[in-house]
Amino acid sequence: MVPLKEIRRISEYEWEIPQSYRPDMRGAVHIFATRRLLEEISGDKSLEQAVNSTTLPGLVGNVLVMPDMHQGYGFPIGGVAATRYPEGVISPGAIGYDINCGVRLLATQIEHKAVQDWLGDLALALNQHCPSGVGESGAIRMSEAELEKVCVEGAHWTQKKGYATEMDVRRTEETGRVEGADPSHVSKRAKDRGRPQLGTLGAGNHFIEVDVVEQVFDAQAAQAMGLQEGNLAVQIHCGSRGFGHQICTDFVHEFQSVVKRYQIKLPDRELVCAPLDSPEGQSYLAAMRCAANYAFANRQVLAHNARQAFEQVLAGKVKNWRLFQVYDLAHNIGKIEQHMVDGELITVCVHRKGATRAFGPGAPGVPAEYSKIGQPVLVPGSMGTASWVLAGTQESMERTFGSSCHGAGRVMSRSQAKKMVRGENLRKELVQRGIHIQAGSLAGLAEEAPQAYKDVDDVVKTVAGAGIANKVARLKPVIVVKG
C-alpha cells in the first residue's frame, strides 16, 4: 500500500507519487482524483500497481491513473503508460485480458416520451437479438479462414457482409481496423474460442443499454454527435470475448520466461513484458491487434442486431426508428502513437487499461465531423446510474497521451457485491425507477449493483476539472440488457 502521506497534491484534481518514492521507479505516478476518490482507492493495491508500472523498461514520462482506477492484474485498471517505440517493452497485463473491451454509442431521433409504452417490448427484443452470457454463441458461423479475415479486417469485414454502414466504420477508432494484425501469431485454442462468439455480449459488466439524453452541456458538440435532450441513445459495452482472453492468457504465460531471457527485472510477475522490437514482442502485438479487430467487429454486429430489434418493435410506430453511429472506442488496448514529450515528437506504445483515447480537436485520426470539438469519449456509469459523453481536449494530448477515464470504476469486488446485494431486490428497485431489466441471472445482476461502483458524476467532474475531457451530455438508462 502507498501511504497517502507520500502522495503530493498538485491541484484539486491531480496528485503525484514522486519518482523518489522508490529507487526502481523510472518516472512518477500522476493520479487524477479528488481527495475523496483518492481515499477510496487507497484501500486496494492499485496505487502500488501504478508504482510498479513505472519500472517498465523504456517508460516515457509518467504513469497516469484516472479517477475510476481500481486494482487489476499487475497494472491498475484506469492506468495509462507509454513506452518508447521500438526500444521499450509491451506488457499484456497493462492492456488487459479483455483486449479492446470498449463502448459504442448510437444516437436516435426517437423521443423517449413517444415510445414509453413499447420499452418493455424493446428490452425483450434486444435481449433476443443480442446473445449474452458466459460462453454464449452467436448466430454467425465462421470457418477458421473467415475468422482470420475478421482478425485482419475488423469492422471493414462487417461492412462487406452488410452489418455496417460507411458512417459506422468511419466513426470507429482506427476505422475499426488496427493495422499489423497477423492471425498466424494466434493459438488454435484462441481461434476455437473466437469462432462461435462473434456478435455476442458476454457477461460480467458488459451490457446493452438504452438511455435518454437527460442534459446537454455543450450544444455544438452534442449537435455534431446527433445527441438531443429527450431522445433515446444506445450504448454497447463488450470486447473480444474468449478470443482476446485466450490471447492474453497465452502471452502472459509465455512472457514468464521471456523476461528472464531478456534479463528484465520487475517487482511483480503479473507485469511480465517483452521488448517491442523482439520477436516475442512483435508476436504479441500482432495477436493483440487481431483481438482488437475482432472486438470492433463484435460491437458492430451487435449494433446491427440492435437495429433489427428497434425495427421489429418501433417500425411503423415512430417516424424514424433508426440508430446512427456516434463513436466506438477501445479502453483496453496498446497503440503505437506519436506524442509530444518535453518538446519532442516521439513514437510510443501507449498502454491503456480501463482508459480511453481522448484525442483533442484537430488530432490525427479524429473523424472530420469531430475535428473542431475533439474525439467523443464514452463513459458508462454503473447499472442504473448515469452515463456521460465527453470530448477530448488539447490538454489531454499534452498531459495524458490523449487519454481519459472509461467508466465509474469498482469499489467493491464481484464476490463482495453478491454478499451485500440481493439480485431480486435490486431488480425490483430498478424497475420501480422505470428501468426495464433483462438479465441472465440474479447473481450476475448483484455483481453489477450501483453500490459496487464509484459515483460516475464524481469521476467525470474530476476529468473535466483537470481539463482532460469536456462534458457534452449526461445520459440516464431506461433499458439494461446484461448477461
Q: What is the pLDDT of residues 159-196, one digit of tens each?
A: 999 999 999 999 999 999 999 999 999 999 999 999 99
Range with the largest mean pLDDT of 200-209, 264-273, 406-415: 264-273
Q: Kindly list the structural domains of the chain, giving each domain's residue range(s) and its CATH number in brackets, ordered by start.
A: 4-411+453-482 (3.90.1860.10)
pLDDT at 136 over 70: no
Range with the largest mean pLDDT of 54-68, 373-387, 426-440, 445-459: 54-68
Cβ atoms of 172 and 296 within 8 Å: the answer is: yes
| DSSP per position, 49-80 | HHHHHTTSTTEEEEEEEEEEEE--SSS-EEEE
Q: How confident is the model at residue 54 (pLDDT cuts 50, 70, 90)?
A: very high
% residues pLDDT > 70 (the chain): 99
Catalytic option among 30, 206, 245, 406: 406
Give phi and psi for 100, each to the nearest 5. Answer: 55, 40
SS (H, E, C) 18-44: CHHHCCCCCCCEEEECCHHHHHHHCCC
- What pLDDT sits at residue 335? 98
C-alpha span between 457 and 332 (Å, rounded): 22
Known catalytic membership, residue 406: yes
pLDDT at 223 over 80: yes
pLDDT at 247 over 70: yes
pLDDT at 57 over 90: yes
Kindly report the length of the chain. Answer: 483
User: How many CA atoms lie within 13 Å of 445's alpha carbon, on the beta-carbon side?
Assistant: 21
Report field, pTM of the whole predicted structure over 0.85: yes
Q: How confident is the model at residue 449 (pLDDT cuts 50, 70, 90)?
A: confident
Q: What is the β-pairing status of strands 324-330 and 89-90?
A: unpaired
Smallest CA-to-CA distance from 291 within 244, 333, 229, 336 is with 244
- What pLDDT sits at residue 384? 81
Q: How confident is the model at residue 388 (pLDDT cuts 50, 70, 90)?
A: very high
| Segment 279-299 mean pLDDT | 98
Q: How confident is the model at residue 337 (pLDDT cuts 50, 70, 90)?
A: very high
Q: Share the mean pLDDT of the chain.
A: 95
% residues pLDDT > 90 (the chain): 84
Q: What is the pLDDT of residues 191-212, one digit of tens each?
A: 999 999 999 998 888 999 999 9
C-alpha span between 455 and 459 (Å, rounded): 7
Is the Cα dihedral 23, 29, 34, 39 positive or negative? negative
Whole-number CA gyration radius for the chain: 21
pLDDT at 446 over 90: no
pLDDT at 382 over 90: no
pLDDT at 269 over 90: yes
| Segment 63-76 mean pLDDT | 96
Q: Please calculate the CA angle 427-428-429 and round it to the nearest 5 degrees.
A: 90
pLDDT at 23 over 90: yes
